[in-house]
Chains A and B, each alone.
Chain A
C-alpha cells in the first residue's frame, strides 16, 4: 500500500460547483497534514494545513479523521483559477519528513 493515496482524477467541473478531494495515509503516527496546490510547470504551494478539528479558509474546508487515516478537501463555488493539481501531504511522526500523494488534477470549466 502506498503511503499516501489520493483520488486519481482528473476532476472536470463547471464554475460554481462544489468539489471534494479525498486522501488516505498509511502511517497512523503521522503528525501533520497539509494540502498543497501545484499549477502546471510551477512549484507546489501550501494551500492549507489540516487540523483534527477541521478548518476552513474562505471557500476551502479541510477535514482530518485520524481514526480512519483520511483527509479531505472541499472547494465550494469553484473558480477557473482553482484549476490545478491538489497534493495531499502527510508528515512522519516527527513532522520532519513530508510524503506527497500523487495529486488530483482539477479543471474548472467556464
Chain B
C-alpha cells in the first residue's frame, strides 16, 4: 500500500531557529502533497498545498515566508518553519495524494512531526 514517511517525528528547538520537516512518498509518486497543523484537541488545519515543480498554495492566514515549502521532486516535500517561536509548537502532518486512476484519489498521511519550540 501507499506509504508516506515523515521525519523527524519529534523535534525540540530554541526560539529563533529554523526547523525542516521532510515528507516522502516511499512507493509512489506524489505530484501533490498537503501540509497540516494540529493543536491539541483541535481539528486538522490545512496550511498549504505543495505541488511538485511549482510554488505552494497557502491557505489564508498562513505566512508563506515563515512556513517555506519546497516540493522539488515527485517523492519529497519539505516544510521549513523559519525563526520558530513557542506559538509555532504544534503537530505538523503531511499527506500525499495517491491518484486513483479509474478509482477515487486517496490521501495518505505521514506519521506527523511534533515540534516544541522553547
Q: Which residues of A contact B (CB under 8 A)?
A: 31-32, 34, 38, 41-46, 49, 87, 89, 91, 95-98, 100-103
- B residues sitting closer than 8 Å to A (CB atoms) are 32, 34, 43-44, 46, 49, 91, 93, 95, 97, 100, 104-112, 114
Q: Which one of A31, A42, A46, A103 contacts B107 once the chains associate, using CB atoms below 8 Å?
A: A46
Contacting residues, chain B, for A42 (C-beta < 8 A): 111-112
Are the CB atoms of A100 and B43 closer together than 8 Å? yes
Is the Cβ of A98 less than 8 Å from the Cβ of B34? yes
Q: Which 6 A-B pairs have the closest CB atoms?
A: A43-B109, A32-B104, A102-B43, A95-B105, A43-B112, A100-B44
Q: Is the CB of B34 within 8 A of A45?
A: no
- Having A38-B44, A41-B91, A103-B43, one finds 4 other A-B pairs with CB under 8 Å, namely A32-B104, A46-B107, A98-B107, A103-B44
